[in-house]
Amino acid sequence: MTVLTVEQLSARHGLLQAVRDVSFAIDEGETVALVGANGAGKTTLLRSIAGAHRPAAGSIVFEGGDVTRVSAHRRVGLGIVLVPEGRRLFPGLTVEENLLVGAQRDRPGRWTLESVLDAFPMLRPLRRARAATLSGGEQQATAIGRALMANPRLLLLDEVSLGLAPIAVDAVYDSLRTVIGEGATVVLVEQDLTRALAVADRVLCMLEGRIVLAGKRAELTREQITEAYFGLRTRREVSA
């Protein structure tokens, strides 16, 4: 079943066109790695899907319904949930309170406070700790857990490993594998290719606002992905 279809989507920041005529579809249960260098348009694309950035053109269809002009909070109610870059927790609230914020939509599903704490065991002893006192990895785990509390049909993760120590990234990705194993549909923006490719079923590589490479992870070589990431293939084609 197709969960998300993006057709000819373009998005701008003023005069800067950050996303250019992007089209792709995501099936239920897939984990899609959206990769590319800084400024490639990944975050703008993710925010457009979540409703946090209004596209200039194109369409976004979620579970058969056009949500292109639907507000961000209504998309959460439909099951599209974004974990933004920088986590954006409520620093004065405890871990448990931050998690419970995600349950306000009261969507049915398998994710509850207890199941989230089972998936992210590092958070269980910290449930009464205020978010401001957490390490970066603990904050990221809390942010993902809060998103899961909304029982999303589509989970959008922006820069999971950004600014985290390697040991913290290991812990977060261990828990993320548990989430993926539960059948979650995930779009993962990640600059760390090794991490992204280890969990992805499919890869979309962006360069200068466009998708320049797309395919199943098992059918793409690391060299192909790296060349697309840095635009090396495009440069060769131009010079030829």
For the chain, percent of residues with pLDDT exceeding 70: 97
Q: What is the largest CA-CA distance in the chain?
A: 61
Residue identified by tokens 């406070």 is 113
Helices (H) and strands (E) in the chain, counts: 9, 10
Cα separation of 41 and 21, whole Å? 12
| Strand extents, DSSP E, the chain | 2-13, 16-27, 31-35, 57-62, 65-66, 80-83, 154-158, 186-189, 202-207, 210-216
Q: How many domains does the chain have?
A: 1
Mean pLDDT, rounded, for 38-54: 96
C-alpha separations of 122 from 99, 132, 138, 170 in Å: 14, 16, 7, 12
* Structural contact between residues 51 and 74, judged by C-beta atoms closer than 8 angstroms: yes
What is the structure's pLDDT at 235?
43
Q: What is the pTM of this model?
A: 0.92
Q: What is the CATH number of the domain that holds 181?
A: 3.40.50.300
DSSP for residue 130:
B
For the chain, percent of residues with pLDDT exceeding 90: 85
**pLDDT digits over 123-145, tens only?**
999 999 999 999 999 999 999 99
β 65-66/57-62 pair status: antiparallel
Domain assignment of residue 68, given as a range: 2-239
How many C-alpha atoms does 187 have within 13 Å on its Cβ side? 30
What is the structure's pLDDT at 239?
32
Average pLDDT of the chain?
93
> Could you tell me the two tokens for 135?
């390490």
> Could you tell me the two tokens for 182?
């539960």
**pLDDT digits over 64-108, tens only?**
999 999 999 999 999 999 999 888 899 999 999 999 999 987 788
Lay out the sheet containing 57-62: strands in order across: 16-27, 2-13, 57-62, 65-66
Burial of 70 (0-12, 13-18, 19+ CB in 10 A): middle
DSSP letter for each residue of 88-103: ---TTSBHHHHHHHTT
What is the structure's pLDDT at 90?
95
Residues 6+ away with beta carbon under 8 Å from 220: 203, 213
Mean pLDDT, rounded, for 18-32: 98
CB atoms within 10 A of CB 216: 11
What is the structure's pLDDT at 98?
95
